[in-house]
A and B are shown apart, each in its own frame.
Chain A
């Protein structure tokens, strides 16, 4: 009797889990579906018929395409800069004990948990006070600021599990500290660094709030959408959103499968 009761509870929770996943997917499905809609007017709000034409004309709206390209450029720059800086912090925190590491941890914790609204508005306060006009550069500065801690945490977690005997073995074989790092440690850390870089890229390309504050009139993909909501979104937005979604999911799935293979091989 006891066993049956527990099984029943588990089945209810299983069904509920799928129900919740279904709910999470609803707006995503709407976004994908309305990329195939053929609206007669300006409003892509009601279903009027199936078409593939928006996939052919996905880059037809120059301003939207420019905004997407701007988002991509900023995301790539953010990923590279935050990747390099975050790897430095993560490696140092995982490998060495040093004065100030507590303060640095606290700073990173504060940067992760502060509301985006406050980080964005305080950056704008500073740019206004110093007289820097907002634009793509200030957006990139802001994006590196909020993503660097995430990279550092991902890299630190990997560094902490490193087998120190590898370094000793390299040293015994006559390798210098520098050589050991690049030939032994770096290749092991590379997957973690790669996940950190991808995380920074994803955080950057999706960011709206901080970009809203630090970007001035610069149009990124989310900013363009925000501006266009009042006049109605063209179906191209849905197509681009679908492409980003499918691309992101594919990258995540493939890197997961590869990580799984590595685990099996090791």
Chain B
């Protein structure tokens, strides 16, 4: 009896949460896949016809937005690596007793609602806003200077939104480095630059990869920043999917686009997860 209880215990513990994930994460993905192959409209209902042309047509219609989303996402992650590395490095090696405090300060934006943070940026960047108006008055910027609505504004917003997700994993990777390894490199006459390039950076790479994973995915699928800070020139795929789902109820082609985006993103993630092991990525993600 006791042994039966022992073997059953983990399953009973896992059952409610596991079912919840299965029912509201895995099953919906299948439903969406099915919906993406259906035909019809919201009034007469949708019928499954294996209509794979939904994919061909919607990708052809929105390839500009699809490519733009991936490009914005890639640029965002690239900028974030360069911006975050020195900070993560300094906190990991020179933060001393205040490491936790510095990390907390990096996390401060998360205490403000995502939408509200982005609206604050819009207020700052708006043509006659708190930031640009004084700069124009002082003659530092030309009167017709405009940044809101540009790709720069959208990417800057994305960089701001996801910065902590890059700093934290790089910090975690750097923090694990044994300082003696770096000392050994120096003792073997490696210059500071060589020891960084050959020792520190390779050891930090898992963190950089995790950071890319945690910023590229949300950045390239985001629609809040491009909606609030961009214009019709910067429309991202997320906006298309959102309006097809919520305004025009064009579910099949919205599902096809959504699935395409996820397939592209997940293909990259799983290739990476396999090369590194899921456990490790999860551990980094959990910090």
Q: Which of B18, B120, B217 contacts A30 (CB 8 A)?
A: B120
Among residues of B, the one whose C-beta sits closest to the C-beta of A125 is B32
- Interface check B203, CB cutoff 8 A: no
- Are A28 and B109 touching (Cβ within 8 A)? yes
- Are B90 and A16 touching (Cβ within 8 A)? yes
Bound Cα distance from A154 to B281, whole angstroms? 15
- Interface check A64, CB cutoff 8 A: no
- Interface check A107, CB cutoff 8 A: yes
What's the nearest-Cβ distance from chain B to residue A75, in Å? Answer: 12
**CB neighbors of A among B240-278 (8 A):** 241-242, 245-246, 251, 254-255, 258-259, 261-262, 265-266, 269, 273, 278
Q: Which of B17, B27, B262 contacts A115 (CB 8 A)?
A: B262
- Interface check B75, CB cutoff 8 A: no
Among residues of B, the one whose C-beta sits closest to the C-beta of A206 is B113
- Are A45 and B245 touching (Cβ within 8 A)? no
- Are A107 and B28 touching (Cβ within 8 A)? no
Bound Cα distance from A155 to B7, whole angstroms? 21
Question: B251: which A residues are within 8 A, CB to CB?
Answer: 125, 128
Q: Identify which of A52-60, A145-153, A162-170, A182-190 touches chain B.
A: A145-153
- Interface check B279, CB cutoff 8 A: yes
- Interface check B192, CB cutoff 8 A: yes
- Are B90 and A141 touching (Cβ within 8 A)? no
Bound Cα distance from A144 to B163, whole angstroms? 25
Bound Cα distance from A46 to B134, whole angstroms? 11
Q: Which of A93, A106, A122, A142 contacts B32 (CB 8 A)?
A: A122
- Are B218 and A115 touching (Cβ within 8 A)? yes
Among residues of A, the one whose C-beta sits closest to the C-beta of B121 is A27
Among residues of A, the one whose C-beta sits closest to the C-beta of B217 is A115
**CB neighbors of B among A60-108 (8 A):** 84-86, 88-89, 91-93, 95-96, 98, 100-101, 104-108
* Total count of chain B residues near the partner, CB < 8 A: 92
- Are B241 and A96 touching (Cβ within 8 A)? no
**CB neighbors of B among A16-57 (8 A):** 16-17, 20-21, 23-28, 30-31, 34, 45-47
Bound Cα distance from A208 to B14, whole angstroms? 28
- Interface check B135, CB cutoff 8 A: no
Question: B7: which A residues are within 8 A, CB to CB?
Answer: 98
- Are A126 and B28 touching (Cβ within 8 A)? yes
- Are A237 and B116 touching (Cβ within 8 A)? yes
- Interface check B20, CB cutoff 8 A: yes
- Are B28 and A88 touching (Cβ within 8 A)? no
What's the nearest-Cβ distance from chain A to residue B105, in Å? Answer: 5
Among residues of B, the one whose C-beta sits closest to the C-beta of A129 is B31
Question: B10: which A residues are within 8 A, CB to CB?
Answer: 92, 95-96, 98, 101
- Are B25 and A226 touching (Cβ within 8 A)? no
- Are B278 and A206 touching (Cβ within 8 A)? no
Bound Cα distance from A107 to B17, whole angstroms? 11
9 examples of A-B residue contacts, CB within 8 angstroms: A17-B91, A21-B106, A45-B126, A89-B17, A98-B14, A107-B22, A121-B255, A128-B251, A213-B242
Residues of A at the B interface (CB closer than 8 Å) are 2, 5-6, 9-10, 13-14, 16-17, 20-21, 23-28, 30-31, 34, 45-47, 84-86, 88-89, 91-93, 95-96, 98, 100-101, 104-119, 121-126, 128-129, 141-142, 144-145, 148-150, 152-154, 157, 177, 202, 205-206, 208-209, 212-213, 221-222, 225-226, 229, 233, 237, 241, 244-245, 248-249, 252, 256
Closest A-B pairs by Cβ, 7 of them: A27-B120, A85-B17, A115-B221, A122-B28, A96-B10, A13-B90, A92-B13
